[in-house]
Amino acid sequence: MNESTAESPKSIVIIGCGAIGGTFAAHLANSPAKVTVVDLSEPIRHAVMASGLTITHSDGREESVSVDIRGSFEGIEQPDIVFFFVKTVHNQAAARDAAGLIGPHTVVATVQNGMGHGDVLSGIVPADRLVVGVTSEGANMLTPGHVSHYAKGATKVGPWRKESSLESAELVADVLNSAGLTAVATDATENAIWTKLAMNAAYSSVSALTRLSMEGLGDSPELWRLCEDVVRENVAVAIASGAFVDVDEVLGMANRLYAGIKKDGIIAGKASMLLDVEARRPTEVDAFNGAILREAARNGVDARLNAILFALIKGLEDSWRIDAGSA
Ligand SMILES: NC(=O)C1=CN([C@@H]2O[C@H](COP(=O)(O)OP(=O)(O)OC[C@H]3O[C@@H](n4cnc5c(N)ncnc54)[C@H](OP(=O)(O)O)[C@@H]3O)[C@@H](O)[C@H]2O)C=CC1
Ligand SMILES: CC(C)(CO)C(=O)C(=O)O
């Protein structure tokens, strides 16, 4: 366990070894810290225990790394950093199970998409050791235990509460940078979180509903325009709630993602919400369009496109329950 958060972390726990958790774990496994990964998925654990965690890097290079993967927190010592990489719908359960992991110096970090994770995680760690942010890394899971890190991007982390110091966020950024990822500690995470949300609540939601990848959306002028309209609505809500978000920055992020996928001929460049729909798992719509609707209502802003996307995705989820009941 760490004596001081200024020192390099000696132990890291990663909760969730899916597409992006697996990508971060494969990088962090090469750092000097002891890395333990916890995932409830038996097929993932089985594959990683048998052949290591396999990552196909964005340049096509494939690597398998050995990681300590477990199905529960039992026997894991309180680490220096805990990363949350489950889907946001599982945050509450994962936080409850992981509460005993949080020692007097443990820093908890989340760069999950959407909004509201700090509120959940603040139940298990004091505000000055809660780090929130976003990542522009993009990954899919090809088979259990094999991730495709198809898009490289920066990770921005900062304190959950503005009044907290940057110390915990710097620790997290340092460990990510030393593992070959690109991370920065900033006290402007609110803008970064809103910027990413403005993109996800447009492109990921439309992708989930149409079952088209980013490439499929970009190839359709009508759908791309729809996404851009949703982005404009999202940015208006962000600005009304006090964040600074630039429409062109959000559109630029989406355009770069599309151009990168197109250029490299990546077939696995799917939004993680589309993968949820394909697997009929609960989506993150409450933390995406749901969060925007809540902020819009609070500030009296029109968010009718979000209301439509939210209702359609909820309806889609309901249809799986009906299918399951009639099977
Ligand atoms: N994929 C991407 O490119 C990006 C994703 N993100 C965000 O990161 C988060 C994770 O996404 P992603 O990696 O795609 O998700 P995945 O669904 O691929 O991975 C999540 C993993 O967590 C496991 N899990 C669920 N509950 C628990 C639990 N209580 N304890 C331990 N493990 C658990 C899941 O198992 P099971 O499947 O059995 O439930 C699954 O293996 C999301 O918020 C997403 O929006 C952010 C940026 C990019
Ligand atoms: C990588 C990206 C931006 C694709 O929409 C993403 O955040 C996700 O898949 O959830």
Q: Write the single-letter amino acid at 226.
A: L
Q: Which ligand is nearest to the CA of 141?
A: 1
Q: Which residue has the higher pLDDT, 94 or 258?
A: 94
CA of 90 to the centre of ligand 1 (A): 9
Is residue 156 a part of any domain in this protein? yes
Contact 309, 244 (CB under 8 A): no
- 47 and 147 housed in the same domain: yes
Can you give the pLDDT at residue 7? 74
Task: For residue 268, give both structure tokens.
Answer: 């696995």
**Complex-level ipTM beyond the 0.90 threshold:** yes
Mean pLDDT of the region 123-151: 95
Q: Which ligand is nearest to the CA of 202?
A: 2
- 178 and 228 housed in the same domain: no
- 270 and 246 housed in the same domain: yes
Question: Is the CB of residue 39 below 6 angstroms from any atom belonging to ligand 1?
Answer: yes
CATH of the domain at 286: 1.10.1040.10
Q: Which domain holds residue 59?
A: 11-187
- Beta-carbon contacts of 141 under 8 Å, excluding residues fewer than 6 positions away, are 18, 19, 22, 147, 148, 275
Share of the chain above pLDDT 70, in %: 96
Query: Ligand 2, atom 4: nearest CA belongs to which residue?
Result: 271
Question: Is the CB of residue 280 below 6 angstroms from any atom belonging to ligand 1?
Answer: no
Query: Ligand 2, atom 1: nearest CA belongs to which residue?
Result: 138
CA of 46 to the centre of ligand 2 (A): 26
Can you give the pLDDT at residue 67? 96
DSSP labels, 269-298 = ---HHHHHHHTT---STTTTHHHHHHHHHH
CA of 18 to the centre of ligand 1 (A): 5
Q: Which ligand is nearest to the CA of 288?
A: 1
The mean of the pLDDT values for the chain is 94
